Amino acid sequence: MMDINTPIPIVDGSTITRKTFESQYLNPQKPVVLRGLWKQYPAYEKWTMDYFRQSMGDIEVSLFSSKQANPSETLAVAHAKMKFNEYLDLIERDPTDLRLFLFPVFKHKPDLLKDFGYPNITGRYLKIPFMFFGPKHSVTRMHMDIDLSNVFLTQFTGKRRVVLFAPNQSSLLYRLPFNVHSTVDIDKPDFETYPAMRYAKGCTAVLEHGDTLFMPSGYWHHVEYVEGGFGLSVRTLGHNLPTILRGAYNVTIQRKLDDLLRWAQGDKWFAYKKKVANRRAEAALKALQNQPPTAGNTTQTALG
């Protein structure tokens, strides 16, 4: 079994100070659940399924399926489209794998921006919020955010299970080079194909209404909708200049280079990336096995 049962700490987000948040979580880059952080905003009570049905149900939305997704690509091409109110009915009524990913809801209804702000527990916000909608049991495949921003993910309706891995676990998670994805499935781990993932160490939280998860720059995340629902993410710039520059490189040069090579080489390019990921994982696993155990711990952390 993978070591993912360590709980992410939970603190009172309605009382935490900027000094405490930055010193204990932002600067050391440690995840935390900030419970009630958004109580200060109208969205906390106002945003419900019925509210969105009534206010913008006629909008056509693009939907994505993790079952149909190509692990060699980013989520760029939608797998289905339907009216927004039909989709909200669907995720409350029926099992489906279709998710609403990075929905530009604020372009369709700018007044929503008046329902919230940007919590003053930190600064340097990228004021481009996104909403995520999904049905029960749908899963967002393992990835890290390409721009390496810090993410504040707030849940409004339903529950979501989020499993996080620190950036230094990348090799153990078989990170594909030139993008920010992995081919492993932490819910159904295949240790024969991916033996190194047995040594990856993660942490888990189940987000409910009003919970905000702080995900530091470069953290891997696996997300499952325990119940159909929705949430919103806001971001801040990476915690230091090298992280910011690396994120800018990922978004511009690296992503375009990956797209170009995939177009030019097709399946050969993906096969090459998997080969590199396997080689790095084997090296990380070998390094772990060659390290002497510490007191109370028989495995060490491998740098990715």
Q: Is the pLDDT of residue 67 over 60?
A: no
pLDDT band at 160, cuts 50/70/90? very high
Helix (H, G, I), strand (E, B) or coil at 41: coil
- Whether residue 102 is contained in a domain is answered as yes
Is 98:80 a contact under the CB 8 Å cutoff?
yes
- Whether residue 256 is contained in a domain is answered as no
Q: What is the pLDDT of residue 304?
A: 44
229 strand-pairing partners:
134
164: CATH: 2.60.120.650
Q: Is the pLDDT of residue 69 over 60?
A: no
- Whether residue 48 is contained in a domain is answered as yes
Q: What is the pLDDT of residue 123?
A: 96
- Give the residue-averaged pLDDT of 138-155: 93
d(Cα 54, Cα 208) in Å, to the nearest integer?
A: 23
- Give the residue-averaged pLDDT of 225-246: 94
- Whether residue 221 is contained in a domain is answered as yes
Q: What is the pLDDT of residue 20?
A: 98
Structure tokens at 113: 């921006």
- Which tops the pLDDT comparison, 100 or 14? 14
d(Cα 247, Cα 238) in Å, to the nearest integer?
A: 8
Is 84:50 a contact under the CB 8 Å cutoff?
no
Q: Is the pLDDT of residue 293 over 80?
A: no
pLDDT band at 206, cuts 50/70/90? very high
Q: Over the stretch 255-270, which tens digit does the pLDDT of each residue have?
A: 999 999 999 999 999 9
d(Cα 50, Cα 65) in Å, to the nearest integer?
A: 24
- Whether residue 292 is contained in a domain is answered as no
Helix (H, G, I), strand (E, B) or coil at 109: coil
- Whether residue 285 is contained in a domain is answered as no
> Within 10 Å of residue 279's Cβ, how many Cβ atoms?
11
d(Cα 157, Cα 219) in Å, to the nearest integer?
A: 24
What's the number of domains the chain is made of?
1
Q: Is the pLDDT of residue 111 over 50?
A: yes
- Whether residue 191 is contained in a domain is answered as yes
Arithmetic mean of pLDDT over the chain: 89
Half-sphere exposure of 196 (CA within 13 A, CB side): 27
- Give the residue-averaged pLDDT of 170-180: 94
- Give the residue-averaged pLDDT of 203-224: 97
- Give the residue-averaged pLDDT of 212-224: 97
pLDDT band at 125, cuts 50/70/90? very high
Q: Is the pLDDT of residue 104 over 90?
A: no
pLDDT band at 66, cuts 50/70/90? low
- Whether residue 252 is contained in a domain is answered as no
For tokens 């399924």, name the residue.
49
> Within 10 Å of residue 16's Cβ, how many Cβ atoms?
19
- Give the residue-averaged pLDDT of 48-65: 90
- Give the residue-averaged pLDDT of 2-20: 96
Q: What is the pLDDT of residue 301?
A: 42
Q: What is the pLDDT of residue 234?
A: 95
Q: What is the pLDDT of residue 102?
A: 66
Q: What is the pLDDT of residue 289?
A: 84
pLDDT band at 299, cuts 50/70/90? very low
Q: What is the pLDDT of residue 232?
A: 94
Q: Is the pLDDT of residue 244 over 60?
A: yes
Residue 156 lies in domain: 3-246
